[in-house]
Amino acid sequence: MRNDKFLDLVVEKGLMTREDRAQLLEKTDNDHFKLLLFLKNGGVAPKNFLGRLWGDSIGFAYVDLLKTIFQPEAVKMLPMDYALKYNVIPVYKLGSALTIVTSTPGDIDLIKKLSIVSGVDVSPVFSFPEDIEDAVKIQYQSKETIEELINKISQNSLFKGISKITEEQLKKISGDKAVINFTDAVILLGVKENATDIHIDPLEDVIKVRFRIDGVLQTRLKLDQGLLYPFVSRLKIMADLDITERRRPQDGRINLKLKNRNIDIRFASIPSVHGEKITLRLLGQLAVRDVPGLEDLSFSWSTYKKIEKICSVPNGIFLVTGPTGSGKTTTLFSILKRINNEGVNILTVEDPVEYMVEGVSQVQVNPLINLDFAAALRSFLRQDPDVILVGEIRDSETAKIASQAALTGHLVLATLHSNNSFLASVRLVDMGVQRFIVSPAITGVMSQRLVRRICEKCKIKYRLTDIEADEYFIRENNEEVNFFRGKGCAACNFTGYSGRIAIHEILLFTNEIRDIISSGGSVVEIEKSALKNGFKDMFHDGIKKVLRGLTTIEELERVVGKN
């Protein structure tokens, strides 16, 4: 395929010289599209930059499918067979035109075929072929496609009478193509629906498959008990675990590889009365996730200003606390994004690495070679760091090294498990850090939880009764109070919610709080001092977000409890 305009743009942007161009064209058989893929795969420039250049050169928009929101009704307008055959995928329908992504948007014959099959006009846009292939695999997953795979499995004589099964039979079953496709399909459906966890729960008569979406478990599939052995065995093989061990818990990692992205999964099994229960945690997908800015996290104004103050502090520890999966890492990386610039040396130690940040040196914990948080931190101090991010302070040695680093001129950002902001200092003391070190080391603590966001497509406003309003507010002249909720629609799977936001409380350490900690004062004394200086708790922050129409009062009370 020839595209001289693209070659001119590549030279103009300084990605290669005219001499390089001649050599590379010879290497890629004078095929300009092959040259594009060669430049992309070689990391000569960011993929999206090259994609936009190619799109501009052929007169079509470029779409990054890793960040695109697909309309389910648009995807259904083109049968999966055609999407696979031509490596194309619909993304959305605007008016009477269906936007379809293809690597060859200038192919008039292809566009005519797609228009006839879909029954509407087609507006083509460009993306890379491997991204389209991955998107087709994910977006065409559904309960119906999985049920078709289940039927194929049940019709196979291999799966008849497997109540007593040998190791060899297990290996043969778990290697069956239908089982492999079924297992991948369940995981990919979870990815499509933005699940954070997939639970496989064996009951007396059925296996229940549940997805945790927006923090709440939702049943997606009910399977025959006969599928448990092949399903679990396949997952164990993917996690490189012992498929014959069913009496003890097992933990492992699965890496599901697609053409252009890897899905990292944490596997955990426990033996239950009716068979092994499996939990799959879908970890950060490096190719997909961008670090949001502080402005994108729906902070209240007062919380935002306090975080800005933390960003300007040259040393000390800033802790973000909360349970697993409460968005702590996202918050810290948003702060890191604000701090990150050419003149700052930033080092991170994480397990796992969830975001890739240009200009930041990131270290993945590896227990197999004794590279834990403490070992990484000790080496960091010899690397002339300005800012250190610790994925989690989970032991005494990590806590002590992080505290010492904060006292010797480094800004340390870290997560910690504690129920609220006041308990963070107590947790560090419990870990063995001396009070006279904890007191000056900590600059602030933020605690957070995630609540479900109201679906924007079905959000409605409603007025509270006087009794309801008086339960939450002190009102003057019986002022009207309005809250919001989602009615439920196809876009939110009729839950009324779509996505999540965080609610926060932030405690900046004052000299009085430092004195309380160093003198062995209680959590109650710390709380009294904070409240005296204007501290507001998570419920207060949540109420403000309820009034802004971001979440519901029911969701706030579910996550935080009544104030």
- Looking at residue 276, which CATH number applies to its domain? 3.30.450.90
User: Is residue 125 helix, strand or coil?
Assistant: strand
Whether 262 and 303 map to the same domain: the answer is: no
CATH value at residue 336? 3.40.50.300
Whether 271 and 322 map to the same domain: the answer is: no
Rounded to whole angstroms, how far apart are CA atoms 402 and 13?
44
Whether 104 is in a domain gets the answer yes
Residue 175 has pLDDT above 80, yes or no: no
Token pair belonging to 370: 């004794």
Query: Minimum mean pLDDT among 44-48, 97-101, 206-210, 379-383: which range?
Result: 44-48
Quick one: what percent of the chain has pLDDT higher than 70?
A: 95
pLDDT in tens, 216-264: 899 999 998 888 888 999 999 999 998 888 889 999 989 898 888 888 8
Token pair belonging to 91: 């993304």
Rounded to whole angstroms, how far apart are CA atoms 243 and 452?
37
pLDDT of the residue at 507:
95
Whether 92 is in a domain gets the answer yes
Token pair belonging to 378: 């000790």
Mean pLDDT of 320-337: 91
What is the chain's Cα-based Rg?
A: 27
Q: Reply yes or no: is the peptide bond before residue 124 cis, omega within 30 of 0.
A: no
Do the strands 316-321 and 442-454 form a parallel or antiparallel pair, or are they unpaired?
parallel
> Helices H, strands E: what count in the chain?
23, 18
Mean pLDDT of 520-538: 93
Rounded to whole angstroms, how far apart are CA atoms 100 and 106?
12
Domain end (from 130, 150, 174): 130
Number of structural domains (the chain) is: 3
Whether 368 and 514 map to the same domain: the answer is: yes
pLDDT of the residue at 429:
92
Whether 173 and 223 map to the same domain: the answer is: yes
User: Is residue 87 helix, strand or coil?
Assistant: coil
Whether 304 and 197 map to the same domain: the answer is: no
Rounded to whole angstroms, how far apart are CA atoms 69 and 101?
13
Residue 163 has pLDDT above 60, yes or no: no
The boundaries of the domain holding residue 398 are 294-452+500-560
Whether 388 and 525 map to the same domain: the answer is: yes
CB-based contact 536:433 (threshold 8 Å): no
Quick one: what percent of the chain has pLDDT higher than 90?
A: 62
Query: Minimum mean pLDDT among 21-35, 213-227, 468-482, 529-543: which range?
Result: 21-35
Q: What contacts 559, CB < 8 A, 6 or more positions away?
A: 215, 449, 450, 451, 503, 542
Query: Minimum mean pLDDT among 29-43, 50-64, 188-202: which range?
Result: 29-43
Cα–Cα distances in Å, from 154 out to 180, 203, 274?
A: 14, 19, 20
Whether 156 and 60 map to the same domain: the answer is: no
- DSSP letters, 462-522, are EEPPHHHHHHH---STT---EEEEE---GGGTTSSEEEEEEEEEEEEPPHHHHHHHHTT--
Residue ranges in 341-387 assigned as alpha helix (H): 373-380
Whether 365 and 412 map to the same domain: the answer is: yes
Residue 287 has pLDDT above 50, yes or no: no
CATH value at residue 125? 3.30.300.160
Whether 309 and 410 map to the same domain: the answer is: yes
Residue 529 has pLDDT above 80, yes or no: yes
Whether 475 is in a domain gets the answer no
CA 220 from chain center: how many Å? Answer: 20
DSSP assigned state of 63: -
Whether 146 and 126 map to the same domain: the answer is: no
pLDDT of the residue at 212:
93
Buried b (16+ CB within 10 A) or exposed e, 401-436: bbbbbbeeebbbbbbbbbebbbbbbebbbebebeee
Whether 368 is in a domain gets the answer yes
Q: What's the maximum distance between 2 C-alpha atoms anywhere in the chain?
A: 81
Whether 316 is in a domain gets the answer yes
Whether 486 is in a domain gets the answer no
pLDDT of the residue at 159:
56
pLDDT in tens, 99-119: 999 999 999 999 999 999 999
Q: List phi, psi (to 5°) of 258.
A: -105, -175
Rounded to whole angstroms, how far apart are CA atoms 234 and 329?
31
User: Is residue 546 helix, strand or coil?
Assistant: helix
Whether 120 and 89 map to the same domain: the answer is: yes
Mean pLDDT of 360-389: 91
Handedness of CA 209, 213, 218, 219 (dihedral sign): negative
Domain end (from 249, 282, 315): 282
Q: What contacts 24, CB < 8 A, 6 or more positions away?
A: 16, 35, 38
Per-residue pLDDT band for 43 (boundaries 50, 70, 90) equals: confident
Rounded to whole angstroms, how far apart are CA atoms 110 and 243?
47
Whether 474 is in a domain gets the answer no
Mean pLDDT of 307-313: 90
Place of tokens 């990131």: 362
Domain end (from 257, 282, 307): 282
pLDDT in tens, 488-497: 988 888 899 9
pLDDT of the residue at 299:
92
Whether 492 is in a domain gets the answer no
pLDDT of the residue at 307:
93
Whether 525 and 395 map to the same domain: the answer is: yes
Nearest to 361 by CA among 335, 388, 339: 388
Q: What contacts 337, CB < 8 A, 6 or more positions away?
A: 291, 292, 293, 294, 357
- Torsion angle of alpha carbons 166, 172, 178, 183, nearest 10°? 70
Residue 16 has pLDDT above 70, yes or no: yes
Residue 133 has pLDDT above 90, yes or no: yes
